[in-house]
Structures are given as structure tokens and as C-alpha cells.
Amino acid sequence: MVPTPPSPPPPSLRLTIDGEALAANWRALDRLSGAAEAGAAVKANAYGTGIDAAVPALRSAGARSFFVAHWSEVPALARHVDPAAIAVLHGPLSAAEAAYGRSVGVRPVINSLDQARLWLEAGGGPCHLMVDTGINRLGLPPAQLSESALAALEIDLLLSHLASADEATPLNARQRALFAAIAATVPARRRSLANSAGIALGADYAFDLTRPGLALYGGVPRAELAPHIRPVVRLQAQVIQLRDLSAGDTVGYNATFTAPVAMRAATVALGYADGFLRSWSGRGVLRCGPAELPLIGRVSMDMVVVDARAAPDLRAGDWLDVPYDLPDASARSGLSQYELLTVLGLRFERCTTT
Ligand SMILES: *Cc1c(COP(=O)(O)O)cnc(C)c1O
């Protein structure tokens, strides 16, 4: 037997979720959904924020319907919510997945006739049905809606997904009209079309249930949402070491930065393995209170180096803020707001403030 080692000290990376802002964002999106209710997309570990941090806040705000993509995401979520409130977007790909869904009591999203058969062969029960109205990614083609395999399904939610809700394009209205026509013929208890951006398209798009993800976590996919959405994620990283550079010294892999004058630099415990990708190299800043410390040189796996001249009192062990206002960080890094959240790594200690 290997003896149990002592617990490690707290990590040098902190991801703090503002639970109050997350709850306020859900309430705002629920309100903007009009007569419809807002659910919550919590796939990919609640968009990187952590199921255990995010879901209790969403639940206490009032969220009752939760969406994940993979079956592997069910256990973490089922610790917090009634299994019947969990929808698995990818649906069953095998008899084993269908049997698992049945035994846990979660609801698969049926995306094809094959998935409908797998679910019915496993015993059936309440499920959801995704129809593809134009994204051509996942879901039943409308032409197959009259197939007999579907007649035996007990459909709770009829869903479709918008391809370009974050843009002004005629595709949105076309998808909405097709979805409304389909909804008139499919015996489902409830209907759902809009993601975060779709909520901003107006009441016509809300149907019975909306499925916001990104905007819950502080993302702003359409300008109309900006006044309603608060930032949720705060990132902080610890300084590991300070060093004095002479003019002409270079910093980091491939020596991409050369000190123009003698200057102080700080090495920080944050790298691309933590989701701070190399596209930030030379473009980002870290903050020490109001002082901005520009990144210098390349982002490495576990470290970045910043120009520390604006924070003369900085010491090893001090915490720096990683600016992560999502629209602004997206413009700076070239990563999408979705990517910025979902790449955040496992070395962040995830905690919640309320
Ligand atoms: C991820 C996802 C959502 C949430 O989309 P956001 O753009 O993050 O609001 C809603 N519906 C489906 C089917 C999804 O896959």
C-alpha cells in the first residue's frame, strides 16, 4: 500500500467564478427569453468554469434544464441536478450508451433514425428530438420526420440549432420559419431553438425553452446583449521569479524579445498548457492592480514573462490578474470567446464567490 501523501499547497493559478454575476446573467437571459424559460448549456465543464462552481449558482438562480454534449459529462452534473433535467446532445451511438441513459434517467437528444431505434430498443422513455433546420451538423433531416421509428418516441423537447444567430443573415428567419412549421406537426411537449445569440433575436425565436451557454459565462455574442451580461471569470497567476535584464538580453524560446534598455521582468506561472495559448505572445498584458505589465517573448508551456517596470514593488509569490473580459480578450488574442473559456486548463483552482 502506498501511504496517503499530505495534500499539496494551493495552486499558483486561480479561476474565480463570480457566482452572483453568473446567476444575474441567467436571470437576465431568462427575462430576455420572454414567456419562454431559459435552460443552461453546461457542456465542456460549464464552458471551462467548472461544473461544481457553476451549476449550484445556476440552479439557485432558477435554471431547471441542463445541456451537456457527451455521456461522459453526465456523472459530474448528476451530482447537482435531477437526472431528468439533463439532456445529452450527442445522443446514443450504441446500445451501451442508450442503456446507460435509461439506467441513470437522463434524456438523450435523438439526432437520427438510428438513434431513435437504439433508444427504443433500450426501452425508450422520455427523450428529446433534434431536427436540423440548416446548420447541417447534427440532427434529423426534416424529410425523415414522417418515418415510423419516430412515432413511438416520447418526445419532451423538440430542438433545432441556429447556425448564425450572432450575425444579421436571412438564414436566421429561414431556420425559425422551418422550425415553427415542423413544431406544428411533431407531438413534443416543449420546443427550443435559441442559444445565447438567438435570445437576442427576439421573442419569435424563444419558443418554450432557450439554451444559453456563452452569455451565462460572460460572453457577448451580439451587441444587444452587452448591457445585460456581466463578466463571470477572473483569472489570476502567481509570479515565480523576478530578474533584471540588461539592454540587449533576449527573453524566452527563440529569443523573440530583446530588452531595449535595462529592465525588470517577472516570470509568471501561466502557460499554454493552462489554456493561455501562444496566440497571446506579444499581444497581452497582465495586471498588478491598475498597472499593466505587457507580455514579452513567447508564451511557454508553463510560464509567461512580463515587463515588470510598471510594478516596481513586485515580488515572487505576488498574484497578477489575467485580463479576461471576453469580447476584448477575443479581439486581442484572435481566439473566439468560446475558445477562451473552454481551453482553460486543469491546473487552475476553480472557486466561487457569491
Ligand atoms: C452549445 C450549444 C448551445 C449553447 O450555445 P451558446 O452559443 O454558447 O449560447 C445551445 N444549443 C446547442 C445544441 C449547443 O450545442
Mutate which of 22, 161, 179, 337 for ligand 1 pocket (most atoms within 8 A of beta carbon): 161
Write the CA distances from 301 to 16, 102, 121, integer angstroms.
22, 42, 47
Query: Which residues participate in catalysis according to the annotation?
Result: 43, 253
Residues 6+ apart with CB under 8 A from 6: none
Query: Is residue 62 domain-shared with residue 96, that is, in the same domain?
Result: yes
- pLDDT value for 2: 84
Please calculate the CA angle 205-207-210 and round it to the nearest 5 degrees.
Answer: 80
Give pTM, 2 decimals: 0.96
Query: What ligand 1 atom has the least distance to the C-alpha of 130?
Result: 13
- In this structure, how many other beta carbons lie within 10 angstroms of the beta carbon of residue 1? 3
Residues 262 and 199 in one domain: no
How far away, in angstroms, is 195 Cα from ligand 1 center? 5
Question: What is the rounded CA–CA span in Å between residue 25 and residue 230?
Answer: 7
Is a pLDDT exceeding 90 seen at residue 347?
yes
Residue 182 pLDDT exceeds 80: yes
**Same domain? 169 vs 25:** yes
Distance (Å, rounded) from C-alpha 240 to C-alpha 221?
A: 36
- Whole-angstrom CA distances from 127 to 117, 143, 350 are 12, 20, 33
The SS3 assignment for 161 reads coil
Range of the domain at 281: 233-323
Instruction: Assess whether the C-beta atom of 214 lies below 6 angstroms from ligand 1.
Output: yes
Residue 225 has a pLDDT of 98
pLDDT tens profile 31-55: 999 999 999 999 999 999 999 999 9
Q: What percent of the chain has pLDDT over 90?
A: 97
Mutation to probe ligand 1, out of 45, 65, 211 (largest number of atoms < 8 A from CB):
211
Determine the pLDDT at residue 3: 86
Are residues 108 and 127 in contact, defined by beta-carbon separation less than 8 angstroms?
A: yes
The answer to whether residues 205 and 61 belong to one domain is yes
Contact 66, 265 (CB under 8 A): no
Distance 68 CA to ligand 1 centre (A): 9
Are both 247 and 193 inside the same structural domain?
A: no
The alpha carbon of 41 and the centre of ligand 1 are apart by a number of angstroms equal to 6
143 domain residue, yes or no: yes
165 falls within a domain: yes
Asked if pLDDT for residue 88 goes beyond 90, the answer is yes
Last residue of a domain, one of 193, 220, 247: 220
- pLDDT confidence of 184, banded at 50, 70, 90? very high
Judge if 138 and 171 occupy the same domain: yes
Scan for cell 440532427, then name that residue. 139
In a domain? residue 40: yes
Split into its structural domains, the chain has a count of 2
Overall residue count recorded for the chain in this entry: 354
Q: CATH code at 29?
A: 3.20.20.10
**Mean pLDDT, rounded, for 132-155:** 96
Band of residue 320 on the pLDDT scale cut at 50, 70, 90? very high
Please say if the pLDDT value at position 1 is more than 80.
Answer: no
Q: Is the CB of residue 65 less than 8 Å from the CB of residue 29?
A: no
User: Does residue 333 lie in a domain region?
Assistant: no
Strand pairing category for 209-210 and 37-38: parallel
Asked if residue 237 and residue 216 are part of one domain, the reply reads no
